[in-house]
Amino acid sequence: MMGQDPHAWFIAPLDGFLSESLRRAPPVELSRARLLVGVCCGLLACDLLALLYLWSKPGSPWGIVAVCWICLVGFGAALMQLRQSSSTRYVALLLCTLMTLGILISILHMRSLALATHASIMLIPVVSVYLVGWRLGLLFSALTSVSVGLVFPLYAVDAPTFSEWGRCAFAAFYVLCAWAVGWLFVLARDEAQATVERTLRTLGESEGKLVSLIESTDDLILSLDAEERVLTANDTARRLFRQLAGRELLPGEPAFNLSTREDQGFWRELLARALGGERVRQEKLISLGEGTFTMELLLSPVWGEGKRVVGTTLIGRDITVRKQAEARLSEMHRSLLEVSRQAGMAEIATGVLHNVGNALNSVNVAAGVVTERLLGMHVPSMGRAAQLLDEHSADLGAFFTSDPRGRQFPAYLKLLSRQLAQEREAALTEMHTLCSSVDHIKAVVSMQQRHARHSEVVESLPVPELLDDALRLHSLSFEQVGIQVRREYVPLPPVWGDRHKLLQILLNLLSNARHALLEGDSPERLLTLRVGPGTGGRLRIEVADTGIGVAPEHLPRLFTQGFTTKKDGHGFGLHISALAAEEMHGSLSCVSAGRGQGATFILELPAGDAPPAYVALGEAVAQEACAG
């Protein structure tokens, strides 16, 4: 008892007078019941003292004695009723009525001004407001105030003086003030209680939502205190604990006592990091029966007052399916890399075939022209001249002087030699074109081989010369179909890149322009080549034709692999050219007003000094060459 809380030893006796339902009542009702018990006990004690005092004095007024006995019985009955009642309402009305009538009857019967203005009458408004509410409390307080301030001076005092009227008036006023203070207190208490109830209701709803959320997830959720003891656990955590330990997980017990020593070290290390304020994420392989599964763990510190860690929250998620999917994805990625490598090899082979095919067209044309020139040469005339000389080998002097044919023979030889020289020059020119085409074929193959080794020859390239080279490879085919070529070159610094890669782009653009001009309806087949400054200090190459043009819906897909509008096209030329332009840190685009309006292909390349990427690439190529 000595170490017991004073509040507890004072409240416990009061609760002994209450029924079980009142002891379990809400806090406000329980407080009201305890006050009833205290007031009843106090009034009983006062009545007993008053009866003892009246018994010790013979000739005491019988009315006061009767009032004391009636109040004594009433207060006792009120205490007995509290042992059986589930509400304090009627008991409180009985107590307030007995207390008010008893005090007022005693004041009026004893005709004592001191008793009428005594502080004990303040008990009526204070107790009545708290026990029966402000309305009934006002009724009891008003009755007391009228009785003290008006009835008592008129009934109990003969010719009351001004001072006596003032004392009674002040007593009546103070009774009403006591009621007002009590009402304000009750009002504040009710508001505070309503606030507490709303707060508790909100907390209850929030707690319900949180519990519902925790229980609805398939993730494992544990809340632990700083000593690793379980505070809360959701159904997934309890179910896993049952499967691992064979029993229920109880709140307050250490969470990882059943783990092996190795697992305990693992968990304690994670918990120590979390209690140190770190948010820890870890994966763990857990054995369950004959199988295993992978769980992703997330430990987060729970912060208390003063930025102090008071616990941890453990969230575990089964990621076995995800790990298996990642493994399958990794395998698919390796397969895709292999397929991509094979597709790249196929694209390189297609590019080689396409560009070699373009060059072979020029080879075929040049070879045909050479064949025609060789067939048309005057070599048989030389044979006939030699035969004529053989026939007159014995009399060459007479033949040259007297024979008309002999006299014309020197002039004939002179003309023949001149004709043969011209035919020789034409044949050499075509052979030069043929050799250039063959060299281009070799360069394309070599370029693709170097591309396969991720290396290229980077050099300074004069664009106008390369454009003229590309034109020469197509000159015969352009002349045969009546295509006029216009050159508009502006002197600009060279570009840096691979010669044959740029030549490949230009050849593809010229070939594409040739087909567009052949398919177009324009009577004038004009091909315009422009070289000038582009955006951002770049060099701009334009290949413009007056051919069939490009429909607006086809422009976005023009450089897509496999897209073509030609009947016999395969859709690789422009795609390969766009890729080559990107590899040279440039861009390839097309503008067209629509079908039948021609098209302009625009190639922009970095001009001036070599870009850093090219410098590094050139150094790598030089090192590779030296190593070779």
Same domain, 181 and 54: yes
Asked if residue 212 belongs to a domain, the reply is no
| Inside any domain, residue 537 | yes
- Domain of 401, in residue numbers: 347-452
Does an H or E element contain 594, and which?
Answer: none
pLDDT of residue 601: 93
Is the domain of 166 the same as that of 304? Answer: no
Q: 37: closest CA among 135, 127, 140?
A: 127
Q: What values do phi and psi take at 251, rounded to 5?
A: -60, 140
Q: Are 373 and 426 in contact (CB under 8 A)?
A: yes
Distances (CA, A) of 625 to 94, 160, 218, 618, 621: 116, 134, 62, 10, 6
273 and 248, same structural domain?
Answer: yes
Of 158, 178, 160, whose CA–CA distance to 168 is shortest? 160
Residue 190 lies in a domain: yes
Closest by CA to 599, choosing from 563, 549, 529, 533, is 549
Answer whether 158's CB lies under 8 Å from 214's CB: no
What is the phi/psi pair of residue 293, to 5°? -145, 155
Q: For position 621, what pLDDT does the model report?
A: 45
Tell me if the pTM is above 0.85: no
Residues 362 and 299 in one domain: no
Domain count of the fold of the chain = 4
**Both 275 and 376 in a single domain?**
no
* Claim to verify: residue 284 and residue 396 sit in the same structural domain: no
Cα 402 to Cα 321: distance, rounded to the nearest angstrom: 111
Say yes or no: 358 and 426 in one domain. Answer: yes
* Residues in the chain where the model's pLDDT stays below 70: 1-9, 59, 257-260, 333, 336-355, 358-359, 373, 376-379, 440, 443-457, 473-477, 567-571, 608-628
CB-based contacts of 5: which residues, under 8 Å, 6+ apart? none
- For Cα atoms 451, 454, 457, give the angle at the middle one, nearest 5 degrees: 70
pLDDT score of 528: 92
Residues 466, 444 share a domain: no
Last residue of a domain, one of 412, 429, 452: 452
Q: How does strand 220-225 pair with strand 230-233?
A: antiparallel
Interatomic CA distance for residues 408 and 153, integer angstroms: 179
Spatial CA neighbour of 544 closest among 607, 467, 473? 467
Where among 160, 195, 230 does a domain terminate?
A: 195
Under the phi-then-psi rule, with left for phi > 0, alpha for psi from -120 to 50, and beta for the rest, what region is 228? left
Per-residue burial over 324-360, b if 16 or more Cβ lie within 10 Å, else e, is eeeeeeeeeeeeeeeeeeeeeeeebebbbebbbebbb
Burial class (CB in 10 A: 0-12, 13-18, 19+), 526: middle
Does residue 202 fall inside a structural domain? no
User: Which pLDDT does position 541 carry in this prediction?
Assistant: 92
The answer to whether residues 442 and 585 belong to one domain is: no
Instruction: Give 3-state DSSP helix, strand, coil % of the chain, rounded to 5.
Output: 65, 15, 20
Asked whether residue 440 falls in the same domain as residue 361, the answer is yes
Task: State how far the Cα of 589 lies from the Cα of 488, in Å rounded to an integer.
Answer: 19
180 and 72 share one domain = yes
Of 505, 439, 504, 507, nearest to 478 (Cα)? Answer: 507
Structure tokens at 422: 């011209």
Q: What pLDDT does residue 283 have? A: 87
Same domain, 448 and 463: no
Question: What tokens appear for 532 in the block?
Answer: 């000038």
Q: Please state, in angstroms and rounded to a whole number, the distance separating the CA atoms of residues 265 and 212.
A: 33
Does residue 481 form part of some domain? yes
